[in-house]
Amino acid sequence: MISNSNLDEINISNKEELINFLRDPETPYELIEDIYDLLDQTFARGYPNFIFEFRLKEQYSRTNLIKALENSLPENESIMTFANSHTYVKRIGEVTETTHEVKMMVKYEKYKEERDFGGELKKGALELKSTFDIVFDFEVMLCYIKCGDRRQLAAIEYFLQTKVTGIFDTYIGYLFKTKQLSTVIENQFNLDKQTLILLDFLEKEINNEDYQITDYFTISFSNAESDKVKSVRLGGTNLLESPEVADRISQGDKIKSVRFQLRKKISSDKYNICTVKVDFEHQLKITFSKVRNAIHIRKDIHHIVNGPIGFSIFFCLPRKQ
């Protein structure tokens, strides 16, 4: 079943019906994008991280956070997230603490809804389950929800904001749109502000003595003002040097996501290389894949997230000859 705010629910029961639906010229392109994103989020392999910012109230410490998590989500006890949704989360194991982090593992379970003979909704067969970590990083005051699906994210976000009450002064999703408000751009021309910020961030903020982007594999654009192509995903190698990407930028398209190869210097002759996908359009999501050593992911997140906050850009286009 597929649903969209602008459409009625559509039931698709097999591969052929899905193909026909996607090929139908009346199918909105935005819905096709939603389907692709859902599949990408649900089945893509790697180390996904949805990023949140948090701050505890002044009188509370990480010890209080641990107790609040333990009390709100008792070990191995299923808690319904949304009322009458048949979506549950349970904590697996203890809430653990390290020098900089508080972490717990949760299991997410979503059941189908069925109607009994009286027409009442009841819990049906298991539809989706997943196990992942939730990490509170006190070194940078960021929370990482390590699930791949936005439905799972919504359930965990709702649980933390409604069940773990009274301890957070701030708990909010990291939205790039709010961060770009503090960025000043000179000579913006007719180009998209988010795109300019990200181009500067990718080339100047990520690349330094320890980190280097060695290749760009995928860049996704959107343009709500376009009469024809409102969204496009370009793939290849060295994409920032391609005329196709330059054309999308010059038309005022907004970068929604980018996937690149990141090389981190470990020592004078040792490097860690992985693939990173960063989604900027909604809730900030950073997914690592082809990872040699997952121990570096936390510091990689620090480096990526702390870059695009409140800097100034002077953007200059070359003069035409």
244 shares its domain with 163: no
Query: Do 181 and 285 have their domain in common?
Result: yes
Quick check: 309 pLDDT over 60? no
Same domain, yes or no: 147 and 60: yes
In this structure, the answer to whether residues 127 and 64 fall within a common structural domain is yes
List Cβ neighbours of 174 (8 Å cut-off, separation of 6 or more). Answer: 51, 52, 53, 142, 283, 284, 305
Is residue 316, in this structure, part of any structural domain at all? no
Task: Clarify whether residues 32 and 117 are in a common domain.
Answer: no
Task: Choose among 185, 213, 173, 176: nearest CA to 311.
Answer: 185
Whether 142 is in a domain gets the answer yes
**Beta strand 121-137 pairing with 142-145:** antiparallel
Say what the pLDDT of residue 189 is.
Answer: 63
Can you tell me the distance from the alpha carbon of 102 to that of 41, in angstroms, rounded to the nearest whole number? 25
Cα angle at 102 between 100 and 106, to 5 degrees? 145
pLDDT of residue 179: 65
C-alpha to C-alpha distance for 228 and 220, rounded to whole angstroms: 16
Listed residue (284, 276, 280) closest to 260, CA to CA: 276
At residue 104, the pLDDT reads: 97
Residues 254-279 have a mean pLDDT of: 92
Regarding whether 122 and 235 lie in a shared domain, the answer is no
- pLDDT given for residue 81 in this prediction: 87
146 and 183 belong to one structural domain: no
Residues 28 and 52 in one domain: no
Higher pLDDT, 32 or 83: 83
Q: Is 165 inside any structural domain?
A: yes
Query: Is 261 found in the same domain as 152?
Result: no
- Amino acid residing at 185: I
93 plus 38 within the same structural domain? no
Average pLDDT over residues 128-147: 94
Give the closest residue to 218 by CA, choosing from 255, 193, 273, 272: 255
SS3 180: helix
Q: Where among 144, 173, 202 does a domain terminate? A: 173
φ, ψ dihedrals at 240, nearest 5°: -65, -15
Is 89 or 186 the better-scoring residue by pLDDT?
89
Is residue 314 one of the residues assigned to a domain? no
50-60 mean pLDDT: 95
Write out pLDDT tens, residues 18-46. 778 778 877 776 666 666 655 655 555 68
Using the 3D structure, point to which of 145, 173, 201 is the last residue of a domain.
173
**Of the residues 143, 173, 203, which one is the last residue of a structural domain?**
173
Q: What is the pLDDT of residues 147-183, one digit of tens each?
A: 988 889 999 999 998 889 889 999 999 887 766 666 6
* 182 in a structural domain: yes
Can you give the pLDDT at residue 226? Answer: 75
Q: Is residue 150 part of a domain?
A: yes
State how many domains the chain has: 3
Report pLDDT for 43. 54
Q: Give the per-residue pLDDT at 10.
A: 63
pLDDT band at 9; cut points 50, 70, 90: low
Maximal CA-CA distance, the chain: 76
The larger pLDDT score, comparing residue 81 to residue 281, is at: 81
Q: Is the pLDDT reported for residue 134 higher than 50?
A: yes
pTM of the predicted model as reported, rounded to 2 decimal places = 0.80
- Are residues 141 and 56 part of one domain? yes
317 assigned to some structural domain: no
More confident call, 175 vs 69: 69
| 313 or 109, greater pLDDT | 109
pLDDT above 80 for 84 = no
Domain coverage including residue 17: 2-43
Task: Specify if 228 maps to a domain.
Answer: yes
Let me know whether 33 and 65 are in one domain. no
Helices (H), 128-242: 150-162, 176-179, 193-200
